[in-house]
Amino acid sequence: MDKKIEGLTEGAGREESRINQDFIDFLSKWSTPVLLVMAALAVAYWGWNQYKAMQVAKVNKASTAYDAAVAGGNPNPDTLAMVAREYDSVRSFGELASLDLADVYLLAVQRGLEPGAEYQPGQPLPEGDMLTEQRRASHLDKANTLYGSVAEKTKGVEGKEELTIEAAFGLAAVAESNGDNDTARTQLNLAKEAADKGGFTVLALAAEKRIANLDSVTALVLYDQDALPPLPEITPPPAPQTPATEAPVLDNPPLGLVPTLDDGADAAGEDNGDAGTDGGG
């Protein structure tokens, strides 16, 4: 007697074979592109990690170079210029080095000495250390160019507002050195506006104070060394007087020394005399 087997469907084997064949065809068609995409993603991920590592290394290198350039308080203009040029696109190191370099030139004008020159009181300056009018104008032009470049690069850039303000202060100082108070006032107003916008209250107050005192500022004047009055001679202080030494006072006199009485007689003689009188009586 025929028995009906439950769960069996006519043609199920052919249907399953067709599905398996479709899967094999799918793998044959798409396996290579999928593998290529996965390989591309892996390469891209590796490349991104390498890029980040290179950026971190570049930032560290720029930081080390900048710290070395400004160390010691008397930076070399050539070193600062190299840092500003080589790391111009690394964070803000290019702008920082440019501002420091501009400050070096501006300070040289204010001191009347070439960058790096040191004045020793009482000694003549070496030839070439004192600024001439031509060199003074050249240094002011360099400072103005550097400050202006930083102001242009950082204007409106988020996170670099303080650099913009510092550049505006520098441009104002250059203008003041040239006796151009109108330009100085314009730059100080720009600095105050940027400080108010960025929430830098102290810098805004500093700009206000400089604007208020601007009319009393006069241009710097360089004098020839021969035209300067001679420095006063410094008289060395007198040598300290050595106090006279006194004979030491002995708290405990040595044995054998008997203190002298007021009547000139020693204590031993007085005692002996009294003893003799009593005996004679």
DSSP codes of every residue in 94-160: HHHHHHHHHHHHHHHHHHTB-TT----TTSPPPTT-BPPHHHHHHHHHHHHHHHHHHHHHHTT-TT-
Q: What are the tens digits of pLDDT across the range 81-93?
A: 999 999 999 999 9
Q: Which of 161, 230, 245, 173 is nearest to 200 (CA)?
A: 161
- Tell me the pTM: 0.66
Q: Give me the percent of the chain exceeding a pLDDT of 90.
A: 46
Question: Which of the listed CATH numbers 1.25.40, 1.10.10, 1.10.357, 2.40.10 matches domain 56-119+127-227?
Answer: 1.25.40
Q: What is the CA radius of gyration of the chain?
A: 46
pLDDT tens track for 29-80: 777 777 788 888 888 889 888 888 998 999 999 999 999 999 987 899 999 9
Q: Tens digit of pLDDT for each residue in 196-236?
A: 999 999 999 999 999 999 988 665 555 555 655 665 677 77
Q: Can you give the length of the chain in residues?
A: 281
Distances (CA, A) of 162 to 89, 147, 204, 233: 18, 13, 11, 46
Residue with tokens 């290579």: 32
User: Are 114 and 128 in contact, with CB atoms under 8 Å apart?
Assistant: yes
Structural domain boundaries in the chain: 56-119+127-227
Mean pLDDT computed over 254-277: 50
